[in-house]
Amino acid sequence: MKQLCKVDEWKIIEEQIHPDQNRLAESLMSIGNGQMGMRGNFEESYSGDTHLGTYVGGVYYPDKTRVGWWKNGYPEYFAKVLNAMDFTGICVFIDEEELDLHVWKVVHFQRVLNMKHGYLQREFEAVSPEGKKISANVTRFFSIVDSSLVAIKYEVTSKNFEGNVTFQPYIDGDVRNEDANYDEDFWMPVYHHASENEAVLTMRTRKTAFDVTAAMVTEVNGNGVTNGQVTNQDEYVDHKVSAHLSENATATFYKYISVMTSRHVEKSALPDAAKERVAKASHNGFESLLKAQTEAWEERWNHADVTIQGDVSAQQGIRYNIFQLYNTYTGEDAELNIGPKGFTGEKYGGSTYWDTEAYCLPFYLSTADASVARNLLIYRHRQLGKAKENAEKLGLKGALYPMVTMNGEESHNEWEITFEEIHRNGAIAHAIWNYVNYTGDTDYLNEYGYEVLAEISKFWASRVNFNPRKGKYMMLGVTGPNEYENNVNNNWHTNRMAAWTLEYTLSVALYLENNHPKTSFELKQRLGVTEDDFDHWKDIIEKMYYPYDEQLGVFLQQDGFLDKDLIHVADLDENHLPLNQNWSWDRILRSCFIKQADVLQSLYFLNDRFSKEEKQRNFDFYEPMTVHESSLSPCVHSILASELGYEHKAYEMYLRTARLDLDNYNNDTEDGLHITSMAGSWLSIVHGFAGMRVVKGELEFSPFIPKDWDNYSFKINFRGHLLNVMVDQQATIITQEEGSLFTVNVKGEIYEVPENGKVIID
């Protein structure tokens, strides 16, 4: 494990420049505001290894699929996250020498991501090849107050010379995706304008025709400021401005950028709208914008923070994860979702996996307004039409949501995943239950939820086959969450979630019939769901086949699982790990080793359906065979271990998720951060250590605290209550910060939490 950055409660601090690990550092220093974001690239030119990456949410390109062997049903095009125009760049010259930290001698360097206040800051001293020494202090942020805004302050001080500093701010639209399948240029130029101190550039995506406009305004504070050349080209605009520096004098340069897209503004109005917005921002000035940013982040932390005392490293890890989740998704825009790499890299097509429903939704449910989680659900409702087309393509009824998507269409092409990893449909149904169970917002069901549930249920009902020899419904040819098994029969988790979906859908149908008879009638008509369907669903629920071993008393991950060599990970030669780097694919497949929670995923999702003994037997059986080679795996194990009182295991699993990127655990953070799995560390603390559950509208806790920690605390929103839950080695203290008196259940006892008061449980 390479710890690039210093441990600190609120900051990510890189104390020297890392030319060999610059991509990793750039990933870690990523910053965004839910609408856009970028990697921790330098503003000035850098001739060393770097991956310049700036991303604008919801703007995608359907890249032509690349496969070795085509299989019927593959999508012809994949929606890709786009590397968008580089709008933060500022070339810096000292007299004729261009600043380049790969060439200049770096005397001092510090790059700091300030999580508390949401900005990135760099301080450095460097000496030019001709011996001119400068110090610089650069601050930039992506505003969360106005999500179209980015602001940069770039201070340069002469340390040993008298001369000129020239700033050359630019917007560069000639940008390529590193992962383009056929090295195509995804963008074409639309509009450009440049003059002294301001410029605008609009680029358009090919095929999808999204326009993205960036407008910049710049300003210099210094002596002898003179404007220089302006460049005004199709895909590139810049201008130059110089200031005179006497020894120890400082020139301060400001660049304000407003970025807007045709997703929100008429194409023809984009340049003016962006110009207007950025003019206003520059009028307000950098310090005022930064103050607003600081306050907004403090307010956000006030609802979303998790504190850990006695372990700074753990504290930094959980805050980093929360920070990056909010950089990626804020829930204000139902067209957006939570990409696996957020705005920090471009690997993987598409932006939305089942990670969103299974891992991220509970985080947003508890730390943000209910509207945020609701928007995540509505995102899927908007894509229901495409999910129905997807099912039809496979010769099935109802809706099958894609494995990965941007606009509702499938963006994945491994048959064993794309066509077979269909448990994702169950996760999407379960998220509806989760939302309604947590918020009590039953209106969601008549407005959106039932329609999605009914179509998913139709899918399950057409996907099972009745086996007359056994009198059971079966589901053949699937891949479960454990992707180290492909094309298996009767994956227990998939069968379980399918039957659960049918049950839940039937219960929602009954609820609607009783409470909203008119809506219920209309929906039935519109969706074409009949009593025959209901009867069929009931029959499936009753006769679903669940592989089970009587002798061991465990649910079997799939048919034939016990025919494998059942070996524990602990008994493997360490050189074989991680398996996905050391074993051929067939060897992985025929082994018993489990990539990520599979049977255990159901035990987490449908937690109250299983006895503690069942959970224990299955955990004891499967955990030792699990290699956790997905970043999504350890948190589910951590949560179940907490519930079962396996405190050591719970803590071990927590550590594997909390600092995954900061410690570059999987050795691939240079490609971008593992955004969606970041929610897992929050889940490990809140659902795991604190044992939070919502049962029949009531909040329950069952806390424990790792023995090395002094205390931990977190805040949650729950049905109009803002609670602070603090657990230390002696007690649990639940403080109500907003909301009226209500009750919570802690370890089976009921406690009242007064308005503006607290309850202490020893």
Residues that bind a copy of itself (CB under 8 A): 65-69, 71-73, 393-395, 413-416, 419-420, 465, 467, 469-470, 474, 476-477, 486-489, 559-560, 562-565, 580-590
758, burial (CB in 10 Å: exposed 0-12, middle 13-18, buried 19+):
middle
Look at the block and give the residue holding tokens 């050349």: 229
> Which amino acid makes up residue 8?
D
| Residue 315 DSSP SS3 | helix
> Which amino acid makes up residue 207?
K
Closest-CA residue to 76 (of 62, 97, 87)? 62
Pairing of strands 77-83, 90-94: unpaired
| Residue 220 DSSP SS3 | strand
CB 513 within 8 A of CB 519: no
Active-site entry in 43, 455, 483, 629: 483
Report the C-alpha gap between 155 and 222 in whole angstroms. 10
Q: Map 354-398 to HEC letters.
A: CHHHHHHHHHHHHHCCHHHHHHHHHHHHHCHHHHHHHHHHCCCCC
To the nearest 10°, report the CA torsion of 409, 411, 417, 418: 40
To a copy of itself, the closest distance from the beta carbon of 65 in angstroms equals: 7
CB 345 within 8 A of CB 673: yes
Find the helix packing angle between 384-393 and 450-463, rounded to 10°: 10
Closest-CA residue to 661 (of 11, 25, 15, 10)? 25
Please tell me whether the peptide bond between 578 and the residue prior to it is cis, using omega within 30 degrees of 0: yes
> Which amino acid makes up residue 60?
Y
The two three-digit tokens of residue 380, written as one number: 């899927």
483 is catalytic: yes
CA 563 to the chain's CA centroid: 37
| Residue 176 DSSP SS3 | coil
CA 500 to the chain's CA centroid: 27
| Residue 419 DSSP SS3 | coil
The two three-digit tokens of residue 609, written as one number: 């359906």
What's the length of the chain? 762
CB 544 within 8 A of CB 495: yes
E-assigned strand segments in 246-334? 250-261, 306-309
CB 50 within 8 A of CB 26: yes
CA 102 to the chain's CA centroid: 32
**Cβ-defined contacts of 529-535 (< 8 Å, 24+):** 529/454, 529/458, 533/457, 533/458, 533/461, 534/506, 534/509
What is the phi-psi region of residue 359: left when phi exceeds 0, alpha when psi lies from -120 to 50, beta otherwise? alpha
CB 337 within 8 A of CB 377: no
